[in-house]
Amino acid sequence: MKKMTGLFFKNKWALAALWALGVLYAGALLADFVAPYSFKDEARDLSYCPPTAIQVVHDGKLRSPFVYGRKLTFNEYRQRIYVTDQTVLYAVKFFTPRLFTVEAPGRVYLLGADSRGRDILSRIIYGARVSLTIGLIGVLISFALGLLVGGIAGYYGGRVDNVLMRLCEVLMMAPGFYLLLALRAAVPDNFNSVQVYFSIVIILSVIGWAGLARVVRGMCLSLRERDYVLAAKTFGLSDLQIIVRHILPHTVSYSIAAVMLSIPGYILGESALSLIGLGIQDPYASWGNMLSDAMSIVRIKFAPWILWPAFFIFVSVVCFNVIGDALRDVLDPMIKRDT
């Protein structure tokens, strides 16, 4: 185990990905402190306000951090234009009780504002609570289902194996996104955001365990013939005890890498549902429903900063894939040894 850990941390890309995910999860956990505003804090008169720069120099003099005021005007084409008012200064406040914010009525938008004047950075941080945790919780459920079903199928074989594997093939045969939509359609429309969140977790888990179960089943077909399994039968252990204690632990090497590589699918699944209005609903934030503002090319042209959630989705998906590939490379000798 120590050697395996050392090999993993020698991979610089995997280490960088681990740090990046650590920052994202820490931000999600401490969102009430890190985010400048609440996810539902609106300023309608600052709709699609461009990113704000924090200044430290005014009239050639160094001073504490501040932001200039913004004035909304319209050009001859009736397009919104924000003009910086350098006669109005708003001081940046720290630890009051958030990490930083600006004295009212000023606003600080490090990544710009959305259609309702809500801070995109704050909504991204709060949205990480949904988009990042939904993958972890969903994969834990599918991981448990895949291991258990695959272990039972591989251990018993015969008719039990045929029934369980045909069920897996039915789930794998259906196009994933359309199956996702069909299951989501079965969720009542009057569910609140918390209920919708757990519904999406369950839906993503239901369609995600079949592939893992098939691979675990193949590994268990060879593991059930090992001497330690025959010895466990001799000592009178039940079939469930043998599967859980003596067979499934030898499949964990593969399963850990498979789980890490499957988490991006859960993040993208939630994002797709929220993007088309079937997932987390406003005012609650997720990276998917934040991108619903970017469905119009006109909005993207005049407010390109609304695409920031897509960047964070991309970064998180790439990080999980890099870590999954690194784990697979490190665990590959263990997988070959166990099988």
Domain boundaries of the chain, sorted by first residue: 2-30+121-338, 52-108
Condensed to tens digits (0 to 9), the pLDDT of residues 183-215 reads 777 777 777 777 788 888 888 787 778 888 888
- What was the pLDDT predicted at 308? 93
- What was the pLDDT predicted at 127? 92
Q: Is CATH 3.40.720.10 the classification given to domain 2-30+121-338?
A: no
Tell me, rounded to whole angstroms, the distance of Cα 252 from its chain centroid.
Answer: 23
The separation between the first and the last C-alpha atoms of the chain, rounded to the nearest angstrom, is 18
Condensed to tens digits (0 to 9), the pLDDT of residues 102-155 reads 988 889 999 999 988 899 999 999 999 988 988 888 888 888 888 888 888 888
- What was the pLDDT predicted at 335? 46
Interacting residues of 160 by C-beta distance below 8 A, sequence separation 6+: 152, 153
Do 48 and 70 contact (CB within 8 A), yes or no? no
Condensed to tens digits (0 to 9), the pLDDT of residues 265-315 reads 888 888 888 877 777 888 888 898 888 888 878 888 888 999 999 999 999
Residues 114 and 48: their CA atoms lie apart, in Å, by 5
| DSSP-based three-state secondary structure for 66 | strand
DSSP state of 276: T
Q: Please report how many Cα atoms fall inside a 13 Å half-sphere around the Cα of residue 332, on the Cβ side.
A: 8
* Nearest partner of 7 among 329, 230, 249, judged by Cα: 329
- Assign residue 75 a region (left: φ > 0; alpha: ψ between -120 and 50; beta: otherwise): beta
Query: Is residue 2 predicted with pLDDT exceeding 60?
Result: no
Mean pLDDT, rounded, of the chain: 83
pTM of the model: 0.84
